[in-house]
Amino acid sequence: MAIGLELTINDTTDQGGRYLTWAATPCQLRVSAPDGAVQPIPVTISTGAGSRGRLEFRMSRDGQAAGQLRAELPVDGEAVAFFVSGRFGSPSVDDGDTHIEIRNRDTGAVLSSVPVMVRIRKNANLLRPAERDRFLSAIARLNNQGQGLYQNYRDTHVDNTRLEAHGRHGFLPWHRAYLLDLERELQRIDPAVTIPYWRFDQPAPNVFTAAFLGTTGTSGFARFLPSNPLRVWTTDGQIGILRRPFFEPGTSAAHDDNGQRVRREAVIVGFRGPFSTLTGPFESNPHGSAHDSFSGHVSAIGSAVRDPLFFLLHCNVDRLWAKWQWFNRRFDPQDPGTYQFNGAAGTANATRIGHNLRDTMWPWNGDTRNPRPATAPRTPFPDSPVTHLPGPAPTVGSMIDFQGLGPDAHHLGFDYDDVPYQPE
Of 18 and 314, CB closest to other proteins: 314
SS3 content of the chain, % helix, strand, coil (to 5): 25, 20, 55
Of 3 and 222, CB closest to other proteins: 222
Minimum CB separation from other proteins for residue 244, in Å? 10
Minimum CB separation from other proteins for residue 79, in Å? 29
Which among 320, 318, 312, 289 has a CA at the least distance from the CA of 124? 312
What is the gyration radius of the CA atoms in the chain, in angstroms?
Answer: 23
Of 73 and 136, CB closest to other proteins: 136
Q: How far apart are CA 109 and CA 106, in angstroms?
A: 8
DSSP-based three-state secondary structure for 104? strand
Minimum CB separation from other proteins for residue 226, in Å? 4
Minimum CB separation from other proteins for residue 34, in Å? 39
- Tell me which DSSP letter residue 197 carries: B
Of 123 and 303, CB closest to other proteins: 303
Of 108 and 237, CB closest to other proteins: 237
Minimum CB separation from other proteins for residue 319, in Å? 14
Which among 244, 246, 240, 200 has a CA at the least distance from the CA of 224? 240
Beta carbons within 10 angstroms of residue 415's beta carbon: 27
Minimum CB separation from other proteins for residue 250, in Å? 22
Of 5 and 350, CB closest to other proteins: 350
Minimum CB separation from other proteins for residue 189, in Å? 5
Which among 188, 34, 42, 27 has a CA at the least distance from the CA of 114? 27
* Residue 154 falls in which region: left (phi positive, over 0), alpha (psi -120 to 50) or beta: alpha
Of 37 and 239, CB closest to other proteins: 239
Burial of 219 (0-12, 13-18, 19+ CB in 10 A): exposed
Residue 178 phi, psi dihedral angles, 5° rounding: -60, -45
